[in-house]
Amino acid sequence: MIHPALSRIRDSLTGTKYEQDVFLVGGAVRDQLLGRTDTTDFDLVSEQSGIEIAQSLFSQGISSIHPVTFESFGTAMVIVDGIKIEIIQCRKESYHHGSRKPDVCPGTYLDDAERRDFTLNSLQLNLWTEQIVDILGTGLSDLQQGILRTPLDPHKTFQDDPLRILRAIRFKHRFGFQFAEGLDRAIRIEADQLQHISHERIRDEILKITHFPTAAAALSEMMTLGLLEQFAIDFVPTVGCDQGKFHHLDVWNHTLAVVKNSYTCAISHPPFNESLHEEEREILTLACLFHDIGKPKTRKPGEKGAVHFYTHEHVGAEMTTSILKEWRLPSTTIERISKLVKHHMRLASAHVFSLPAARRLLRDLGEDWSLLLRLIDADSRGLKANIQPINLETIVQQITTALTDQAAPTFEPPLNGEEIMQCLGIPPGPQIKKYKDLLSEKVLDGELLSNDQEKARQIILAEFNKHSQATN
């Protein structure tokens, strides 16, 4: 049974020249055949004008908006029952070497199928008969056998749009497919074509890969096939970078283990037994991917075969910021990921985690404290089997206490700069920060509530008088 929005389109076109000449195509057909019925990413294709079909839907009140048209491609976007639907006229595409902008002309259903990325995305569903049309003759069998194949020679398919290389990785690991014979070789040969693709498009594919627990396997294959070096070359030195006695894996394979570990959590307390929403999953997975990227640059051999990576978390945070800026991620997202990388070693030697330490962690990480603990948990489970993981259960208990020991635990000093100047009768200057920092430390140590202004005044007056006496 087709979606109600598609039924409305079908019914409105029945009895017109478009009847039997509009098909659902692409991912929605693929997902339906794979038993994934929640897809609403609908593309319709016709040998007639997609723009005219869209205008017809609008004039009949089926689309809630005037069609958004793309004249050069013969396509239009409408909204039916709140769902965006693209209507495409079958077309041929030809690319000039080094250009991402194709020459386009109207074509047949076969032409349209051949320009697509993979045979599993070329299948069509007739809106009236609801029958599957496999115009290439291989799409249905490839889908049933779990084979990822390009409609044309893979070199041409990838040269036309190199982003399809990353889509091949994503589809293979998302659906558990296998490459058709020679596809991996074509990917390796055409890998440098990714340098012609914008960082934004590459970023979007990477983020889609991180949505699934198969992300580690996908990233591993990207490294093996020479893809990561095309847009994130700083990961290449992590391959074969030995880590010494606490690790049984090099930096790259440890990174993959941490990414994989992040999709489960060994902490039993809430909120760790809850699923992450999409943005949190993206941030955590990227933090796991980048957390040790600074190790090759900071690696130093020690005594008796030991290996040290002093300040690798700080170097890694700087590298993370630089790379993610190139990927054009939002600045707030970059800041959150880099902060997780910077603090991922914070609990490495925490034999005792005090309540003041919990308050400081909350101050520095804010709402991302739970993501940091997930990262640390995933990281510690990537060590040698005989290395005792960090006991995060007691740490969570302390953080829970810190979150509830005040009505509004802001961890901010009770007095601002203006109030400190008024209290002490002093002008603006660097000494104001000194007193604010003193109050902040008192709050974090549990000696001062963040709303107790009277006690805060007493503390800074005592410190001010003490300093005045010492200088007289």
Which DSSP symbol is given to 383?
S
204 phi/psi in degrees, rounded to 5: -60, -40
Residue 406 has pLDDT above 70, yes or no: no
Mean pLDDT score, 35-64: 92
> 389 or 158: whose pLDDT is higher?
158
Reported confidence tier of residue 219, pLDDT bands at 50, 70, 90? very high
Mean pLDDT of the chain: 91
Q: In the numeric block, which tokens belong to residue 202?
A: 């590459």
Does residue 204 register a pLDDT over 60? yes
pLDDT, tens digit (0-9, with 9 covering 90-100), for 332-362: 999 999 999 999 999 876 667 888 999 999 9
Calpha distance 269→52 (Å, rounded): 57
Between CA 328 and CA 335, with CA 330 as vertex, the angle to 5 degrees is 110
pLDDT interval class at 293 (50, 70, 90): very high
Nearest Cα to Cα of residue 309 among 381, 238, 389: 238
Find residue 93's DSSP bridge partners: 104
By CB atoms closer than 10 A (0-12, 13-18, 19+), residue 31 is: middle
Looking at residue 74, what is its pLDDT?
A: 82
Give yes or no for a contact between 267 and 396, defined as CB atoms under 8 angstroms apart: yes
Q: Which two tokens stand for residue 131?
A: 């029958």
- How far apart are alpha carbons 240 and 304 in whole angstroms? 20
DSSP state of 247: -
Query: Would you state the pLDDT for residue 268?
Result: 86
The structural domains of the chain, ordered by start, are 4-145 (3.30.460.10), 161-231 (1.10.110.30), 239-393 (1.10.3210), 417-471 (no CATH)
Q: Has residue 187 got a pLDDT over 70? A: yes
Indicate the pLDDT class of residue 171, thresholds 50, 70 and 90.
very high
Span 250-254, mean pLDDT? 95
User: What pLDDT is attached to residue 335?
Assistant: 98
Classify strands 147-148 and 178-179 as parallel, antiparallel or unpaired: parallel
Query: Helix and strand tally (H, E) in the chain?
Result: 22, 13
Name the pLDDT band for 472 (thresholds 50, 70, 90): low
Judged against a pLDDT cut of 80, whether residue 275 lies above it is answered with yes
**Least confident segment among 84-93, 96-105, 223-232, 400-409:** 96-105
Residue found by looking up tokens 């007289």 in the block: 472
Most confident of 36-50, 52-66, 291-305: 52-66
* pLDDT of 434 over the 80 cut: yes
Q: What is the pLDDT of residues 131-141, one digit of tens each?
A: 999 999 999 99
Instruction: State the pTM of this model.
Output: 0.88
Structure tokens that stand for 68 in this block: 């958004």
The whole-number pLDDT of residue 38 equals 79
Instruction: Note the pLDDT tens digit of each residue in 304-316.
Output: 778 889 999 999 9
pLDDT band at residue 450 under the 50/70/90 scheme: confident
Token digits of residue 22: 């509009």
Alpha-helical (H) ranges within 241-391 are: 251-261, 278-290, 295-298, 312-326, 331-343, 355-365, 369-380
pLDDT at 385 over 80: no
Averaged pLDDT, 396-421: 82
CA 238 to CA 252: how far, in whole Å?
5
d(CA 427, CA 406): 32
Write b or e for each residue in 120-156: b if 16 or more Cβ atoms lie within 10 A of its Cβ, otherwise e: bbbbbbbbeeeebbbbbebbbebbeeebbbbbeebbe
SS3 state at 172? helix
Output the pLDDT for position 72: 76
pLDDT, residue 446, reads: 85
Percent above pLDDT 70 for the chain: 95
Indicate the SS3 state at residue 23.
strand
- 212-221, 375-384, 399-408: which range is least confident on average? 399-408
Lowest mean pLDDT among 29-38, 102-111, 171-180: 102-111
Q: Quote the percentage of the chain above a pLDDT of 90.
A: 70
For residues 409-424, b (16+ Cβ closer than 10 Å) or e, as one string?
A: bebebbbeeebbbebb
